[in-house]
Amino acid sequence: MQQSNSIRFEFRDGIKDTNKHSALIQAGYDQMNLMVNLTGHITFVDLFAQTFDELIPRIVSHVARCAEYGLVRDPERVVELLNELQRHNGQDSFATLTERAGAGDEPFPQEASDALHELGLCHGVYLPQILSHRPQVMLGLHEGIQELIQFAGDFSYRSMWEIPATKDLKSSMVAIKRAAERLLIFSCGYYYCCLGSGQCVGGLPSDYCWYRAGSTVCGTGSTPCSNHFSMTEFGDCGCC
C-alpha cells in the first residue's frame, strides 16, 4: 500500500479551520502527529505482531526526527524506554504479551509494563498497556489485535488517513474504528464525522474526520456520520 512521498505528516492539513479549535483538540492533533511520524511507516501487522527485537529499532530510528518537529521533548529518554522493551522482552510482541497477560499463567518482567506506562503518560507514545493484573482487559486487547491484523493489517497510522475510504474498505474501516475504541491505536475526536465522499460535518466528541488536502475523499480512518457501525450498514463486513 503506497504512502505519501512527503516525510512529515501534519494532521491539521486535512482539517478546516483548525486555528479555531480548543487547546484540548489541538493536543489530540499533536498526539496524532507524533504517532504518525513515529510509526506511520510501520503497518499494523508489524506494529503489533513483530517481535520487539525487530520492531523497536524501526521506531527508534524516527525518534530524533519527531524531536526536530517538536513532538518529543525528551528523545533520549524515549529511546531509553523503547530499548527497555527490547532488552526485557525482545522475543515478544504486543500480540504475545497481551495473550500471556490474558492467560494469567506466565509472568513477564514488570520493566516492560513500566516502560510502556511512562512512554504513554510522560511522552505521548501511544502503545498498548500491558497489565498482568487485568487478564480480561488483556484478552480484549489481544482479540482486538487479531481483528485489526486480519482486516486492516496492511494499513498504518499514516495510510489509514491517506488512503481514501471506499465501500470496498468498510471491513478495514470497522476494524480501525474498533481498535481505537479498544485503545489499541490513538485517534483524536473533535466533533466532526464524514458525510458522503468527503464532507466533514458536526458529530460527536468521539468522532474524527480527515480528508486529504486537495481531495474530497475522507480517509479510511474517518468516522462515518452514522457514528455507529450498524448491522444494517456494515453487517456483511465480516469483522463484527
**Residue 14 maps to a domain:** no
Q: Please report which confidence band the pLDDT of residue 108 belongs to, taking 50, 70 and 90 as the band edges.
A: low
User: Per the domain annotation, does 6 fall within a domain?
Assistant: no
123 within domain boundaries:
yes
With respect to residue 120, please indicate whether it lies within any of the assigned structural domains: yes
Residue 156 exposed, middle or buried by CB count within 10 Å (0-12, 13-18, 19+): buried
CA distance 73 to 29: 16
Total domain count, the chain: 1
3-state secondary structure of 75: helix
**Statement: residue 87 has pLDDT above 90:** yes
**Whether pLDDT at 5 is above 60:** no
Instruction: Evaluate whether residue 239 is within a structural domain.
Output: no
Backbone angles phi, psi at 20, to 5 degrees: -90, -10
Q: Which domain holds residue 176?
A: 21-234
Query: If you ran DSSP here, which 8-state letter would residue 195 be given?
Result: E
What is the per-residue pLDDT for 166? 85
CB 156 within 8 A of CB 39: yes
Whole-structure pTM value: 0.89
Tens digit of each residue's pLDDT (9 = 90 or more) over 27-66? 999 999 999 999 989 999 999 999 999 999 999 999 999 9
Residue 75 lies in a domain: yes
Residue with the larger pLDDT of the pair 132 and 38: 38
% the chain with pLDDT above 90: 60
Question: Among residues of the chain, what percentage have pLDDT more than 70?
Answer: 88
Instruction: Using only the alpha carbons of the chain, give its radius of gyration.
Output: 17
Domain membership flag for residue 56: yes
Say if 10 falls within a structural domain. Answer: no
